[in-house]
Amino acid sequence: MLKTLTIIFLCTCSFANSQSFKEREVMVTPEVAGKLVTPENQSPEQAVLILHGFNDHMDGVGNLQKQLAHTLAEEGIGSLRINFRGEGERNDNVITSTLDSRKKDGEDAYKFLKKQFPNASYAVTGWSMGGSTTILLLGSHPEWFNTAVLWSSAGHNLRDNIGASGTPEHSAMIKKVLLEGKAEFQSWTTITYTRENYASWIGFDSADYLPKYHGAFLGIRGTNDFLPLHEPEWMKILPGKKKAYHVLGDADHIFNVLDPPNSQGDEVVQLTVDWFKNTLK
């Protein structure tokens, strides 16, 4: 068990007419790195756990989750974002994470965040499979978070997360994964899926978790997302009174952040920050 945690000061940032803040590299566990953002008020009353998507990194596609963390800090809200084990360039794009490992990393991150800001109220947000991980946490520990925001979240098993689902190439890849234990698939990069990863998400269903969570909830998705629009069904099964969703016209799964003229990333961040300001009490 790690006795001490290494914290490396990275930067002090400030913006006109806003609070300054510090962003630091931290080790949540010996295997899980993160970045902790502390507003100028060193003990903020609100803090947000930020969870990245499938095979991504803590800053998110187009640095959108980093932008979210910094915008929250301008409002006096602290945050922690992490790199999940077994994904991304840090793992040579070989996906060895599982449902259980993602859930455990999220749990450890929450506990770390709570130690940093012990008197705060807490929120969580996740993008894509980070949304699925958020759903796991909300259902497993419904008392942890006052509010949550999901971006382009999956609602069912791993096939719900793969844009090529249903194509002959996808079917061949899954067959090879199950028979041989791993297979490469070309997406935004060459990704190696593994049997342990794929099998762990079989049977995952948001309907098993969300009815246990009574806090505030916001879903954000684009009309061009390859994933289904799960939000209307979520509104029916979520027991909390503060719940809503936004569907952004012409936005894809990543809100066009890699297409700057058409990016809706700023709107997604602002919707999220406004939601947390109104519900993170």
Across the range 64-91, mean pLDDT stands at 97
How confident is the model at residue 167, as a pLDDT? 73
More confident residue, 73 or 6: 73
pLDDT-derived band of residue 174, with 50, 70 and 90 as boundaries? confident
Residue 199: is it exposed, middle or buried by C-beta count within 10 angstroms (0-12/13-18/19+)?
middle
Three-state DSSP class for residue 155? coil
| pTM (predicted TM-score) | 0.91
How confident is the model at residue 10, as a pLDDT? 45
How confident is the model at residue 13, as a pLDDT? 56
On the CB side of 178, how many CA atoms lie within 13 Å of its CA?
A: 9
Could you give all domains of the chain from N- to C-terminal order, each with its CATH number?
7-162+205-279 (3.40.50.1820)
pLDDT more than 90, % of the chain = 81
Q: How confident is the prediction for the chain on average, in pLDDT?
A: 90
Distances from the Cα of 98 to the Cαs of 180, 236, 257, in angstroms? Answer: 18, 28, 27
How confident is the model at residue 22, as a pLDDT? 94
Strand 121-127 and strand 46-51: the pairing is parallel
